[in-house]
Every structure is written in structure tokens, then in C-alpha cells.
A = this chain, B = another copy of it.
Amino acid sequence: MKEKEFIKLIQNTVKSEYIGDDCAYLKDLGIVITQDNLVEDVHFSMKFTDARKLGYKSAMVNISDIAASGAEPAYLSVGLSLPKNTDENFIKDFYQGITDAAQGVKITGGDITGSDKIFISITAIGKTGGRKISSRKNAEPGYKIIVSGNHGSSAAGLKELYLGKKDKFTKIHLMPEAKIEFSKKIAANIKTDYAMTDTSDGLIDALMQIANASGVLMSVNFDKIPYDKDIEKFKDFKDLILYGGEDYELLACVPDDFYVEGAFEIGKVKSGCGVEIDGKILKESDTKFFNHFEEKK
């Protein structure tokens, strides 16, 4: 079973109305909430990172989910399980990394326990106050599809790490930036419902999520997707752009006349279902989804 099938199964068991977006929107409390588990040798390897970068990224991926909802990142709760022999410096550096990423987001505590491998679970809370919260269900035919920035850089960085290199791409992979300002520009100004998600599991995956949740066709022009031209050195750079995850850019579907400064329009929402790139509809079998259950050692 894959992650997405598991999620369906969970949905059927708990019958929760909240599952399906980057965050759950708890209207009665005026907050959104999200949680991510990061497991050593599944989601990261200490061969490629260090405690401070790991803390930084762990916080940032959750802040990115809050940004995807349109809410203002407010609090982080950190659950950390560590092997017995972990030294004091690891903990100090890890929490320093979280603090670096947090920038105004407060840390509420959490839990620290023992384990065999490093296990991190961070919960982030965002305040909705005055902003309009997104949902993947809200894309409408006629909306434009916009993204906040380059795709493929993080996956290129992971390739470089395997090759023992260190450059701008490895930095993007190890220390991504959540697109908080892009999120705010939309959520604090838009009047209509809109769809937004981050591209943590790849651009195609994000498009597919919105297509499925909204029952629409997401029509994208490949040439309009922004990317760093230096990734063209990789033969499969088009795959990196479309399927490489962990860029933590935002993808939104907003009314055609809603202007977002600095956004890149990559296509249109149409009637239909699924995702098309340059007029060609993607089949399930074409896609190479990012799947946490395939280890990325």
C-alpha cells in the first residue's frame, strides 16, 4: 500500500472532515494545524545533513504547510526521539536550527524521548485572523494556475549530495524556505475561494491533488514553469522539474483577474479531470510520484 491509499483507509476509519489539505482548518478555534513525521534514513540521512540544518528543515516543512493554507504561522510543537548515545550538542544544534527557521513563530515545547533512529514529529499551528483559508477543493474552471518560484532545484540538490557535491542546489535541498510572503499576498487580499498547496511532493503531485479534490483539469504549459537553467546539466531535468519533490514552493489556483506580485502563471484550470502538460493528459502510469514508502537512502 502507498501513502495515499493509507490516507484513504484512515479517512474511512476516523470519518474526519479535516483530512485532505496541507492543514486542517479548525474554524471554531480560528486556527489551522498540520503535522509531519520525519524519520532518519527514510526522509533524511545524517550523511548529508547536520543537526542544525535538520532542525531548520524540519521546522520549515511544517511552516510551508501553514503557508499553503494561507494562515499566519504562529506556533511549533516539536516531538523528538533520539538514540541513547546522542550528545548534548546535537540537541542544542537541532533546536538552534528550529529557532533559525521559526523567525517569530513560537516554540511551545513538545516531547523528547529515546529511540533507535532519529524520529522527528513537528506540529505547526497557524492563525487565520483576517485571512482567507485555502482548500484543494476550491479550484474552478477559468482560474489561473500560479506558482511562487523554481521547481526541480531541490531534487537536483539531492542528486548533487549523492555525488558528494555542495552547491546552491544542495543548499536549497537541505535548507528550503517556506513561501510565507507569497501566501500572505494571496490570503490577506483575495475575496473569493481559492486552492493552494505546497509542492513538497512534486509539482505534478500538487497539480493532481488539486485536480482530484476539485474535479477539474489542470492544464499546464511546461515552458512557463520557472526553473534554474543550471539544472539542465542533468539529463532528466524535466523529470526533476515535474516530479522532484521538496521545493516547498506554493501552487495556487486563483481567479484570472487576481494579481499576485512575483507569481509565475503556468497554466489554466479547465473543465474536465486530471492534469495535462502541453495538451497531453497524464495517465497514472506516466507519473512518478514521490512516495515516502520508497526509501531515499
Residues of A within 8 A of B (CB): 1, 3, 6-7, 9-10, 13-14, 16, 18-20, 24, 26, 28-31, 33-39, 41-43, 74-75, 77-81, 84, 88, 91-92, 95-96, 98-99, 106-117, 119, 121, 123, 125, 127, 292-293, 295
Contact = CB atoms under 8 A, between A and B. Distances in A.
8 contacts: A19-B109, A33-B108, A37-B113, A42-B115, A79-B79, A113-B292, A115-B119, A117-B117
Contact of A13 (B13, B41, B96): B96
B95 A36 contact: no
Contacts of A96: 13
B75 A14 contact: no
B35 A111 contact: yes
A297 B111 CA distance: 20
B113 A39 contact: yes
Q: 4 tightest CB-CB pairs across the interface, nearest first?
A: A121-B121, A24-B108, A13-B95, A123-B123
Contacts of A114: 39, 42, 292-293, 295
A23 to B, nearest CB: 9
B33 A75 contact: yes
Contact of A77 (B35, B41, B108): B35
A92 to B, nearest CB: 5
Nearest to A87: B1
Nearest to A75: B26
Contact of A39 (B30, B41, B115): B115
A141 B81 CA distance: 37
Contacts of A75: 24, 26, 29, 33
Contact of A121 (B7, B35, B116, B292): B35
A112 B8 CA distance: 11
A26 to B, nearest CB: 6
A18 B106 contact: yes
A119 B39 contact: yes
A6 B84 CA distance: 12
Nearest to A99: B14
A215 B4 CA distance: 51
A184 B13 CA distance: 29
Nearest to A93: B13
B29 A74 contact: yes
